[in-house]
Structure 1
Amino acid sequence: MAFIKRLVFKYRDFLTYTIFGFLASLVNIFTYWVFRHTIIWPYLLANTMAWFVANLFGFFTNKSLVFQSKYTTFGAVCREVLSFFFFRGVSFFLDNGLMIVAISFLGWQSMTAKIIDQLIVGIVNYITTRYTFRKTEQQMALRGRILRRYNAILKRGHND
Structure 2
Amino acid sequence: MRFYRQFRAYLVRRKVWEVTAYLFFGILTTLVNVLIFSVAFRLLELPWPTSNSLSWLVSVIFAFFTNKLWVFHSGASGTRSTLWTLLKFMLVRILSYGLDMLTMWLIIDAMHGNELIAKLITQVLVVAVNYIFSKLFVFADSNSG
Do they superpose with TM above 0.5? Answer: yes
What's 1:133 paired with? 139
Q: Cα 1:5–1:30, aligned 2, differ >3 Å: closer, same or farther?
A: closer
Q: Which has the larger radius of gyration?
A: 1
Task: Could you tell me which runs of 5 or more consecutive residues in structure 2 were left unpaired when the two chains were aligned.
Answer: 1-6
SS of the counterpart of 2:18?
Answer: helix
Deviation at 1:108, TM superposition (A): 0.5
Cα distance in 1 between the residues matched to 2:16 and 2:46: 40
Q: Cα 1:83–1:37, aligned 2, differ >3 Å: closer, same or farther?
A: same
Dislocated runs of 4+, deviation >2 Å: 4-7
Cα distance in 1 between the residues matched to 2:8 and 2:85: 31
1:73 to 2:78 alignment = yes
What's 1:103 paired with? 108
Bigger proportion of residues as helix: 1
SS of the counterpart of 2:74?
Answer: coil
- 1:124 alignment partner, one of 114, 126, 129: 129
Amino acid at match of 1:123: A
Deviation at 1:134, TM superposition (A): 1.9
Q: TM-score, normalised by structure 1?
A: 0.80
What's 2:120 paired with? 115
Cα distance in 2 between the residues matched to 1:103 and 1:5: 40
- 1:40 alignment partner, one of 40, 45, 50: 45
Amino acid at match of 2:131: Y
Deviation at 1:42, TM superposition (A): 0.4
SS of the counterpart of 2:141?
Answer: coil
% identical aligned pairs: 29
1:16 to 2:11 alignment = no
Contact map agreement 2:33 2:59 (CA 8 A) in 1 = yes
Q: How many correspondences in the alignment?
A: 136
What CA RMSD, in Å, does the superposition of the two structures yield over aligned residues?
1.8
SS of the counterpart of 2:24?
Answer: helix
Amino acid at match of 1:59: F
Amino acid at match of 2:94: G
Cα distance in 1 between the residues matched to 2:88 and 2:76: 15
